[in-house]
Amino acid sequence: MHAVAIRIGVIMLIGIAGLLSGCSKQEDAPTAHRIEGIVQSIDATASTISVRFTPPKGNREVSRSGTVLPGTEIQINGVVSSLADLHIGERVIVTGYVKSHGDEQELIARRIEATRAQTIRKAPVAKPEPKASSEGDAQNSSTGQSTATTTPDPQ
């Protein structure tokens, strides 16, 4: 009789624990997303970015706005950068997860990679320095004619 009471007690405890755990709303773990698209807008003050892209299973472009967290890694051509360094119209790859707010979805960016065409700048061409004339020889800059100066020979 005592063993039956223990078994019933254990079953009741398991049932209560199951009910209690089912009462709390469990959120699904965030799913990683990767978006390749064009920057439409940037608000460095609000830490937001909007990207236009074509979803893998779609045939029309959509826009998704997202939040850039303080720890979000941002790189431009492999160089660590900030949100303010990005430009509208720039091609980016945004990696993060989607957070649902009712019917709307917000992208939380964890990493943003941008690739820019690098401008190749030519090194400035150095202008040749005017040749120092030997003592006694000088060129008149206004006429272009040579003038000679003589210095007395100390004897």
pLDDT tens digits, one per residue of 41-80: 999 999 999 999 988 887 899 888 889 999 999 999 999 9
- The pTM for the full model equals 0.57
Say which residues have a Cβ less than 8 Å from residue 114's Cβ, sequence separation at least 6: 39, 74, 75, 76, 77, 81, 86, 90, 91, 92
The confidence band for 36, taking pLDDT boundaries of 50, 70 and 90, is very high
Residue type, 40: Q
The pLDDT score that the predictor gives to residue 144 is 53
- Kindly tell me if the per-residue pLDDT of 154 is higher than 50: yes
CATH number of 32-114: 2.40.50.320
